[in-house]
Chains A and B, each alone.
Chain A
């Protein structure tokens, strides 16, 4: 009872008397942002491997023409679940984990604004994914209508259907609560000398991401609830026979879906904006411009959704508008790419593992951006839509984009979290294997799409065989390489490796580098001073 309200005085007297709780209670009842951050990261890593296993099942089946391993409906379950798990279970929770660990330290706050809600934000996720994964064992199998859940097809899902909807609701709740926490923390708990424009880019991109999350996750919730009522309560939102429109679902879904992909990339932009300046030994070029560019991208992301729907039968005016708006996003995105390059320019670079992943991000995300620009042009998109060209595009922006961003962040901040340096040589091996295999896997998919191979098919005509084999080999190589990542992280966590200093790297900017490594359980109980050298504008 007495500890329900802790004000600064109590906390000051308690300092040093309590560390973390012992055993399972520490994690089940965690309210510490570092512990919750760790749980998010471990959870997302497990989901990454589960989703990766599904990808390997997909790529094994697609290794050669003919059907060898899985029946077509099982294949469709794999493609659907692979995407749901990677998007909602691997990428998003990983960024939330990074946010939890780093935002309070970067703004000089003692913890997140709402620590108990933070606990629920995390613990909802294992429940949600337990439910989702259990659908694999249900009659009718897991959902198999694509992660996009288009009706009427998704209404043909078997017993798994209500569990799919329920787990999506749970994931949404987790994201919304997490986003509220991030916004309230950033707005209210910055150390007084840190004005908004003095915040590091990782904090800025997360602030913007959090607003996107609370804007669009409720829209997804609405869309899937309408699916639920169409299925069980006699409504006809998406059923033409009752006066509804299947295409309306697509509009609502993609109104969520497009900002969602920016939710998945903006934090990576933030990470890369932290790492490149450190290893170029030069300040981030155009900090304010980067903030405005990220904000423009977020704003524009709301008005381009129909570029996922160019073949549904849209009026010409609509197609023209969405084509132009989508092409426009290339401008602020280009500004960011140029600013990162200008940060490198005339710096004095070294190429430790975080920098390697960030540079690969820069190159390969840009390639994904080019295919995105091509997709924006409706006339040619007619040929690309629902083909492997799209699959190539979004895997380039998600894997060397988001995933490499996450890995870069983990390598960058792992010494801060654990107090030990990871094995640099092994890190570089992991990087090169990942970078090479990711291209072997996904670059040929551009060709497959242009040659006419559709998405979401378990078997294909023989002229697509060669590039499919190459892609499958790449996928297996990429998957195996990630085992090395686990080994490197676990070794570091277990205390193998040189002790890390507070600064870890050579003169990095940011409040997180002013606390010891490993970071104490409670940091910044008192707001720190922000020296001019630590300012970011």
Chain B
């Protein structure tokens, strides 16, 4: 019991690992900015813990000591300008200390200069469409068959037996590692939102408008997220899967996806 408690407490301080049960923290992610976002999140969290310690400490002390059952006489004071000034100024200082790194990280998140590759992502009810700008590669990405079968009401299929249940697609977005990927986001119908926690990216896909976001993945792997704006019946069933592969492998992958009809024509 004590071991479990200590381990859980330690777990709060550790970043969440992808897809772990009982995960209590967000992932550090695989980009420089996702790590910075995670660090900022922890910094603010520690500030909150410190303030909580002081404030709740005072409250608990008071609850224990200043009770009628202990026979104390209530004091009569009811104001203090000094106290009011102190507990207005100190929070302002703490907020300034938080605001500076927060603003710095935000400015970096919005820096979209010099992307290496642009992908146009379109939200549909209820799937994503990916189109590589400048390449002849485009496709829909929908919930994988296994998940789609298991998710039916009273399907009889155990979700725990489905790998990456509700987080798997037939065709993931494939991108090269280390390249700055610009995502241009829009929608064909209602507002959706493209979210990949490991890349620390979330941006709304608004019909009639184009939004922009960026990431540079430092590690290869498969990273999973979900639609993050209520978009109707199957809002929970349109996951986002990004597969980051080595740059050499990426060019080869692009070639296999480019215009398969041309491949057929040349085979004739």
Contacts and interface: CB of A to CB of B under 8 A. Distances in A.
A458 B166 CA distance: 11
B109 A379 contact: yes
A374 B40 CA distance: 10
A92 B227 CA distance: 32
A457 interface: yes
Contacts of A299: none
Interface string A278-290: 0011111111110
Interface string B46-86: 00100110011011001100111100111111111001100
Given A282-B75, A383-B200, A348 B67 contact: yes
A197 B69 CA distance: 33
B123 to A, nearest CB: 12
B74 A347 contact: yes
Interface stretch (B14-22, B130-138, B244-252, B253-261): B14-22
Interface string A433-471: 000000000000011001110111111111101110000
A483 B65 CA distance: 34
Interface string B94-109: 0100110011011101
Contact of B230 (A153, A335, A337, A452): A153
Nearest to B94: A330
Given A451-B23, A460-B166, A467-B22, A366 B40 contact: no
Contacts of B63: 344, 349, 359
A24 interface: no
A346 B23 contact: no
Interface string A340-381: 011011111111000000010011001100100110011110
Overall SS of chain A's interface: helix
A146 interface: yes
A240 B207 contact: yes
Interface string A199-212: 00000000000000
Contact of A282 (B52, B76, B160, B228): B76
A346 B63 CA distance: 10
Interface in A84-123: none
A385 B233 contact: no
Given A241-B208, A349-B67, A456-B235, A156 B190 contact: yes
A246 B78 contact: no
A150 B228 CA distance: 14
B45 interface: yes
B203 interface: yes
Interface in B154-175: 154-155, 157-160, 162, 164-167
Give the size category of B's interface with A. Answer: 35 or more
Contact of B95 (A240, A327, A461, A465): A327
Contact of A447 (B19, B24, B27, B166): B24
A284 B72 contact: no
Contacts of B16: 450-452
B150 A387 contact: no
Contacts of B52: 366-367, 370
Contact of B209 (A146, A245, A281, A454): A245
Contacts of B99: 323-324, 327
B230 A76 contact: yes
A452 B207 CA distance: 25
Contacts of B230: 76, 145-146, 150, 153, 455-456
A457 B235 contact: yes
Contacts of A331: 88, 91-92, 95
Contacts of A484: none
Contacts of A452: 16, 26-27, 197, 225-226
Nearest to B20: A463
A348 B74 CA distance: 5
Contacts of A370: 48, 51-52
A440 to B, nearest CB: 15
B146 interface: no
A67 B72 CA distance: 57
Give the size category of A's interface with B. Answer: 35 or more
A247 B24 CA distance: 32
A282 B110 contact: no
A346 B48 CA distance: 26
Interface in B1-43: 16, 19-27, 36-37, 40-41
Given A286-B79, A289-B84, A457-B226, A313 B37 contact: no
Contact of B200 (A287, A359, A382, A450): A382
Contacts of A73: 232-233
B193 A386 contact: yes
A416 B195 CA distance: 53
B195 A454 contact: yes
A351 B208 CA distance: 58
Interface string A373-407: 11001111011011100000000000000000000
A285 B75 CA distance: 11
B44 A374 contact: yes
Given A152-B207, A377-B44, A385-B202, A345 B160 contact: no
B159 A341 contact: no
Interface string B184-202: 0100011101010100111
A485 B264 CA distance: 73
A72 interface: yes
A335 B87 contact: yes
A247 B236 CA distance: 22
Contacts of A345: 58, 62, 66, 75
Nearest to B12: A447
Contacts of A450: 16, 23-26
Contacts of A330: 91, 95
A311 B106 CA distance: 12
A475 B151 CA distance: 24
Interface in A250-290: 280-289
10 contacts: A152-B207, A285-B77, A286-B80, A287-B79, A367-B52, A379-B105, A382-B202, A457-B235, A460-B166, A461-B165
Interface of A: 65-68, 71-73, 76, 144-146, 150, 152-153, 156, 239-241, 245-247, 280-289, 311-313, 316, 319-320, 323-324, 327-328, 330-331, 334-335, 337-338, 341-342, 344-351, 359, 362-363, 366-367, 370, 373-374, 377-380, 382-383, 385-387, 446-447, 450-452, 454-463, 465-467
Given A153-B232, A341-B62, 19 more contacts: A66-B150, A76-B232, A150-B229, A240-B206, A245-B208, A281-B68, A288-B79, A289-B79, A316-B107, A327-B99, A346-B72, A349-B66, A373-B48, A382-B200, A450-B26, A451-B23, A452-B27, A462-B21, A462-B160
- Sorted from nearest, which 3 A-B pairs have the closest CB atoms? A240-B208, A457-B236, A313-B211
